[in-house]
Amino acid sequence: MNTLTAICPGSFDPVTYGHLDIIARASKMFGRLIVVVASNGAKHCSFTPKERVEMIEKCTKDLNNVEVIHYDGLLAEYAAQRGASAIIKGLRAMSDFEYEFQMALANKKLNPNVETLFLTTASQNMYLSSSMVKQIASMGGDISSFVPEVIKQDIMDRIYIKK
């Protein structure tokens, strides 16, 4: 195992099996992986940052080199503070690419010492997104295939609108 630190940022509103697959794979590639719950100005979140951190912690408790934090500033600055050499992102399809490419270039400009690395999403998670999970949960659907059992009830309690 190398001694490098990487950060894995996202809204994680909520974390899904898609994110968790990327986190588990990245944790094998780096000495330390910091999962950063960050703000995406374009998204309104259903869970508070603290709740999102707690849900990820519940799902990653067996990964010893993974730390989960909330950070409200610029990711490039946080990467510099922690001496991280890489930002890890999952790529699902071409539709993700342009947005991710722009962010990678902006982060490189802000912090030339950090590289953005893209991991391809596992094929079974290609279609999976937090917003899809929330839509299914809001209608009382079964989200067991999309999120771990340990956070399923947290999500249903917040999202399911009983009629």
Q: Which residues of 137-152 are buried (b: 16+ CB within 10 A; e: fewer)?
A: beeeeebeebbeeebb
Task: Verify whether residue 43 is a known catalytic residue.
Answer: yes
The H or E element containing residue 10 is: strand 5-10
Q: Which of 75, 88, 114, 155 binds ligand PNS (CB under 6 A)?
A: 75
**Is residue 35 a contact residue for ligand PNS (CB under 6 A)?**
no
Touching ligand PNS, residues 81-120 (CB under 6 A)? 103, 106-107
Q: Which of these is catalytic: 43, 50, 131, 145? A: 43
Phi, psi angles (nearest 5°) of residue 68: -120, 130
Task: Verify whether residue 92 is a known catalytic residue.
Answer: yes
Stretch that binds ligand PNS, among 38-46, 53-61, 113-121, 145-153 (CB under 6 A): 38-46
Q: What is the gyration radius of the CA atoms in the chain, in angstroms?
A: 16
Task: Verify whether residue 95 is a known catalytic residue.
Answer: no
- Cα 129 to Cα 126: distance, rounded to the nearest angstrom: 9
Task: Verify whether residue 11 is a known catalytic residue.
Answer: no
> Which residues sit at the interface with ligand PNS, rule CB under 6 A?
9-11, 38-40, 43, 74-75, 103, 106-107
